[in-house]
Structure 1
Amino acid sequence: MLTRFLALHSQELARNWISTVGTWGAVGTVGLPWSTDWWLILDWVTYVKGKFKKDD
């Protein structure tokens, strides 16, 4: 699939960067709820939605 869009040199660079991009993607996925209002983000997760009931 890479051969259709990238030249040979760019393909080699892309293969080398795949693990780095994956790592930073995982850090961003975990870091976003941690650094923001995690309650709003985790409210979309079905399993977690029932665990944090608000006491009114």
Structure 2
Amino acid sequence: MLSKAIGPRYAQLLRLWFPTLGAWGTVGAVGLVYATDWRLILDYVPYINGKFKKDE
């Protein structure tokens, strides 16, 4: 299906590059969370969750 839409050569290149793009996307997402200290996500990480305890 994909090879008919974009051509067999580009479909093959996409299949070969997909794991690399996925890995870099994961690295980018983790880097974004680290750089911005994104509380929405980090509240669910057990080790980091203690950092955001509320004194109520």
What TM-score, normalized by structure 1, do the two folds share? 0.62
1:3 — aligned with what?
3
1:4-49 CA deviation, whole Å, 9 max, x = no partner? 4310110111011011111011101111110113336535x5x77x
Q: Could you say which residue in structure 1 is the equivalent of 2:35?
A: 35
Distance 2:5 2:32 in 1: 31
Matches of 1:7 and 1:13, distance apart in 2: 10
1:13 aligns with 2:13: yes
Q: Distance in 2 between matches of 1:33 and 1:4?
A: 38
TM-score when normalising by structure 2 = 0.62
* Structure 1 stretches of at least 4 aligned residues deviating more than 4 Å after TM superposition: none
Greater helix fraction, Structure 1 or Structure 2 = 2
Name the Cα RMSD after superposition. 2.5
Give 5+ residue unaligned stretches, structure 1: none
